[in-house]
Structure 1
């Protein structure tokens, strides 16, 4: 069988079943690239509908670089060539594999498959974070990828040699033809408008599957509030089922009725399909008034407009309805903010590159059910681009673990600290046990709102990562992914100090470049990059137990046995989007605040907290100076870039600062104390000595000796530290009046005088009658 005949047979079979077929061409780069073009031509696939994802530029059709492969999300092509010679990017595979239409070819180019895992490329270089080099990176991901290619149906494998262009040479050897002899595809059922449809019939006739039409019908709920409150529609689907298209059709229909539809997604490109289908409906109906990348206006006065997630959660300009696309790729804390607004649709991918629907399902569903909304569930199962059971899709799920999930609830529901074992999940062990790998990675997916295929390769190959877990009867119930940081050379530290970024060293980078600590990258630390506990046993202390076991392991023998380079480990650290609950969790496990970022994360809208738990004297010294510096800069940043942050985040971040960051005694003058005492008795003004109140507020919020209640602490944060106006403080804290808020402020000052005041200050209280 020749390459040409094989490509033609693969195309014929794919068209008959409305499926895709994959073709792997291994060998020298130039030869496999030429062979890919020949195969596409032999399969009679139109060049205009083909795209190469390649670092090479000599292609007779469209090509993009591996890092621009995101441009193919939402698009449909007849053939896609992924060139793995210069850079084998798991993300590029995840982004592109769903973009091939039924009857098309997915072509993967690779070096010799037997030795591919031993080669190093541009993606490997991205895993070689200092102080590791590219030679420290392993090839486990590619070895596993090759194994899935060789054992999965629907994947043809050919070896191409340097003599490919020789017309008399036999330069292609077919190792596996990938043919499955499938049944012909069944005709699709034509969607019809429902009898009780409120949207116009042409909206339903634009649907490609019955599933999609049913989803659009349910999205009619966005037209109005119901007796049960504003509806919340949840549209779930695997990738390629048309959920974003359904949302776009509904958005266009709502705009035609004069409604204002706000659309958001993790990034603007993620909403392309929603906007494309909404614009299509308005254009076809000749009702499009104006259009731009971020806004479509209808003749009726309605519109479809885009806002980034943090801004959209504030519901700018009071929209009539909201569409949140790829909701699983946004943090739960942000999604919950949409529950206080108008009718909203949450569209989420169950298994796919964009995010993990399981995390959305487990963590956000509770909030949605508890909200005063009618919850409407929609699921799309029928693929739009190809038939159900497509072998290329099932291969991608397995190869990239897109459908990885934790053990089912019943298997771990009885797990308690006494029944679990602490274990090190080495790469070798994960590779040898597919179930263990799927369970561990499935839990890690839940730990973060946006996990990508690249993360699987990092887990299996990155030299700076190591994994620990708690197992209950052999099942993973809690898992932590640890990233080694620091221990940087003097030369590297100096480059970072001068502004150069250092990959994979988040805490040392911030310490050195942002906080101007020349020695911030010298101690060796381990950052808890991800930690997750199975949702069935999340409140049973297993996450804290795992952190405790990790610390015990790394403390023993100075941590040298546990460290990836056999060095002493000086501290543990963590960085995350700060919420009151997470701050309490990490503080409860002995971690102390050393930094709160002054800018928000683009996707989550949260400020990042950095916390440290020292293990050695060097780690303690690092933590102590950064805790002190954090306390010293707090007045400036809290009254400036952090002035709008939730006061509960601020007070809990400060409570997690090490007490040693506070001077032994307040530095207030005699006059300062008189002002504080007078304020406590309803006289004088905070503005008469703001620095004095700031020092006392910081002391109390860090140390807590005066025992203020949460309401009083929030009052100190908003008025003293964030310097908000009295009227704004009264409104935010739901006080009866500004006058009552000022009186409450005086009441909060009394215990500060009692606990921290000098004898003269306490004596001055006698001036005021009870």
Structure 2
């Protein structure tokens, strides 16, 4: 029976150039056997099938649920996703995205009625101490099951103990059901295919620089527009950003353009998270190069060009692949660089491609590719501030499957892949004073799709690491709470908060001795890295995400929301809050000057700045605390002093290259005072450098102590003078480099400016001896 269901689904999928889903619900072993039988009955080549499972030993290409991002950029005829053992929401999104038009996604699940109550290894990751597995709910799976049972294009088979006991709950066929799909008439008639291959190839635009064959290889006008935009890569200083949902042909367009550039003699460097993610780029580049090359005439041995990662052309052009780190390092040597699946790469790595003469970034705007939305949220601002003239192209028309593919619509709904905040016009007149503060109860979110979509949409658009796993955490994790501001019935600001700390002595001891404790990010850093065994005893509330509607930025909504959270959960005021009040609030984030100012104004104080950059954000991560009780104040006092002392030495070591404005912000938000205790000899050097003939090099430690004190306690110096204190005195950079970085006309001018910066510091911190020494030179 299952083989017959699979054949009917596949036949309809191929006829309509859409995809279908087959759910095999029940025993895991029976489901695995049934999936094999279904694939065999379809006649699909094993090489075109991928299986995502915690089990091993299958004849298909295998992936683990936690590493399903290996499917990024892939095209498969069938994907089997084993949801037993460890159901990872991210893996579902990536499995769906890999299935080609006419293909089948097979889900192996527990019986659907039972699935929300099943707990597996993913749920165990949500059971953050002091909570246990029994505290994790099944709302995410409950919602997912509802979509499987109601959405078009999904067949459900309840497996019995043997094939005779199998029961077909839904056949998943959509023929004569166009009204369910919202747009069946657009296909030109009921049941007719919307086959991309039947479309007329776009014509070359007037004045096109690429050969006509490049445009003849395009399947949609969207794709042709992208190829035309890629022509700009022949000119140094050009950048192209191509954005699309999955299946719109952005990788193919990049490959066509790379081939065309190479035919003109350009060296085109291509990268992606792995070569398999860029396989489509090279396939399209090879097709174009071969179609435009007379191998015999040009005397080129085709066998010598057999490396799929290294394509040569008669004009001396080259399309070559390098892994991301190597490609970033070599970007300046190529004529143009193409970065595919850019959202899957860390921001810090993406910055390396700004050294290329010309560069293109191809990225997916929905579907949560890779680690998140680092490209869209963080890196895009840096690109726009760079020397490049940036051209944007958006691809909307599907290529790999039909425009009305029901599986795309199902995945978008089930995983909120297209979640968006309320439209701008609906919130444009919102006032921060009139907004209502409210809790976002997980059960209410599960039942209210509009509320859930607007809240989660804010998190998606405002943060670079929001993904389907976070949707499951929002609905099911016992340590998380969500709060929002609502105006005119719309969510205009949202905060996702995590309870941390309050751990028993045995857990704290284990953490101190190297055990990893899930979820307790701030206590873990303070305990395991900063060696404070008592840090996990106070109870904290960490802001995991906070987002304001983009139409209402800088209007006070974020500050108002944080203030409400502080009032609800802080100290004695939080007695009525679920699980009681907290001893401190905390936040950990990729530090930028703007964010440091925001959290400083909200009353948070710096406790730590990581020595390494975060892979996803490309920033050094800051941890800040806002104490509410005596226990919280004690915790901050210990770590503020430790941070102050670490930075005195660390700024010339691990933090030597950190943005001086980040250092200024982090030190300015440190609550520990800085003792200044200089010897008379040191004061002579400082005073002499500020108002006399002295030299900075005669007592660098004294200058460092004064600079640290001034930046922690605040100065009246201008921004450039403070940056000078950071770059030269605290980070110990060479005079020539500092003068160039800060825009001084010469190193001597930079030196004079440093002396001037210390004049008010002598006045502020100087002893009677120091002031008397100053009077020798100034007469004051």
- Aligned twin of 2:486: 471
Q: Distance in 1 between matches of 2:305 and 2:686?
A: 60
Preserved contact between residue 726 and residue 738 of structure 1 (Cα < 8 Å)? yes
- Aligned twin of 1:221: 232
Alignment of 1:523 onto 2:538: yes
Alignment of 1:749 onto 2:758: yes
- Aligned twin of 2:605: 592
| Alignment match of 1:249 (pick from 256, 267, 270) | 256
Query: What's the offset of the Cα at 1:486?
Result: 1.4
Q: Check 1:305–1:159 CA distance in 2 against 1; reply closer, same or farther (3 A cut).
A: closer
- Aligned twin of 2:475: 460
Query: What's the offset of the Cα at 1:333?
Result: 9.6
| Alignment match of 1:673 (pick from 683, 695, 714) | 683
Query: What's the offset of the Cα at 1:311?
Result: 8.7
Deviations 1:326-350 (A, max 9, x none): 4556788997997797443332323
- Aligned twin of 1:94: 93
- Aligned twin of 1:403: 418
| Alignment match of 2:651 (pick from 607, 630, 638) | 638
Deviations 1:26-60 (A, max 9, x none): 11111122122222223333333222212233544
| Alignment match of 2:744 (pick from 728, 735, 746) | 735
Deviations 1:223-265 (A, max 9, x none): 115xxxx444332211111112212332333244343445565
SS of residue paired to 1:419: coil
SS of residue paired to 1:235: strand
SS of residue paired to 2:576: coil
SS of residue paired to 1:179: coil
Preserved contact between residue 328 and residue 450 of structure 1 (Cα < 8 Å)? no
More deviation, 464-473/315-324: 315-324
Q: Check 1:719–1:365 CA distance in 2 against 1; reply closer, same or farther (3 A cut).
A: closer
Alignment of 1:185 onto 2:193: yes
- Aligned twin of 1:55: 54
Preserved contact between residue 309 and residue 319 of structure 2 (Cα < 8 Å)? no
Q: Check 1:207–1:159 CA distance in 2 against 1; reply closer, same or farther (3 A cut).
A: same
Q: Check 1:471–1:329 CA distance in 2 against 1; reply closer, same or farther (3 A cut).
A: farther
Query: What's the offset of the Cα at 1:307?
Result: 6.6
Q: Check 1:297–1:89 CA distance in 2 against 1; reply closer, same or farther (3 A cut).
A: same
Deviations 1:191-239 (A, max 9, x none): 25615432234444444444323321221111115xxxx4443322111
Query: What's the offset of the Cα at 1:754?
Result: 0.2
- Aligned twin of 1:686: 696
- Aligned twin of 1:211: 222
Alignment of 1:198 onto 2:209: yes
Deviations 1:563-605 (A, max 9, x none): 4xx2441111111111111111111111111111111122332
- Aligned twin of 2:142: 143
Q: Distance in 2 between matches of 1:637 and 1:294?
A: 43
More deviation, 43-52/427-436: 43-52
Alignment of 1:259 onto 2:266: yes
Q: Check 1:361–1:58 CA distance in 2 against 1; reply closer, same or farther (3 A cut).
A: closer
Q: Distance in 2 between matches of 1:40 and 1:347?
A: 33
State TM-score, norm by structure 2: 0.90
Q: Check 1:748–1:240 CA distance in 2 against 1; reply closer, same or farther (3 A cut).
A: same
- Aligned twin of 1:503: 518
Deviations 1:470-513 (A, max 9, x none): 00021000000111111222222222222222221111111111
Q: Distance in 1 between matches of 2:305 and 2:532?
A: 52
Q: Check 1:35–1:331 CA distance in 2 against 1; reply closer, same or farther (3 A cut).
A: closer
More deviation, 685-694/394-403: 685-694
- Aligned twin of 2:726: 717
Query: What's the offset of the Cα at 1:649?
Result: 1.0
Query: What's the offset of the Cα at 1:404?
Result: 0.3
- Aligned twin of 1:167: none
Preserved contact between residue 330 and residue 449 of structure 1 (Cα < 8 Å)? no
Query: What's the offset of the Cα at 1:733?
Result: 0.7
| Alignment match of 2:501 (pick from 486, 509, 525) | 486
Q: Distance in 2 between matches of 1:753 and 1:46?
A: 79
- Aligned twin of 1:540: 555
Query: What's the offset of the Cα at 1:122?
Result: 1.2
Q: Distance in 1 between matches of 2:621 and 2:276?
A: 25
- Aligned twin of 1:171: 165
Alignment of 1:760 onto 2:766: no
Q: Check 1:399–1:422 CA distance in 2 against 1; reply closer, same or farther (3 A cut).
A: same
State TM-score, norm by structure 1: 0.91
Q: What stretches of structure 1 of length at least 5 have no aligned partner?
A: 165-169
SS of residue paired to 1:501: coil
Q: Distance in 1 between matches of 2:145 and 2:336?
A: 46
Q: Distance in 1 between matches of 2:264 and 2:512?
A: 57
SS of residue paired to 1:317: helix
Q: Distance in 2 between matches of 1:292 and 1:742?
A: 56
- Aligned twin of 1:580: 593
Q: Distance in 1 between matches of 2:594 and 2:749?
A: 29
More deviation, 630-639/330-339: 330-339
Q: Check 1:544–1:298 CA distance in 2 against 1; reply closer, same or farther (3 A cut).
A: farther
Q: Check 1:80–1:370 CA distance in 2 against 1; reply closer, same or farther (3 A cut).
A: closer
Query: What's the offset of the Cα at 1:73?
Result: 1.8
Q: Check 1:272–1:572 CA distance in 2 against 1; reply closer, same or farther (3 A cut).
A: farther
Preserved contact between residue 290 and residue 297 of structure 1 (Cα < 8 Å)? yes
Preserved contact between residue 753 and residue 761 of structure 1 (Cα < 8 Å)? yes
More deviation, 243-252/265-274: 265-274
Alignment of 1:162 onto 2:161: yes
Query: What's the offset of the Cα at 1:370?
Result: 7.7
Q: What stretches of structure 2 of length at least 5 have no aligned partner?
A: 176-189
- Aligned twin of 1:33: 32
Q: Distance in 2 between matches of 1:494 and 1:282?
A: 63
Query: What's the offset of the Cα at 1:17?
Result: 0.7
Q: Distance in 1 between matches of 2:774 and 2:13?
A: 88
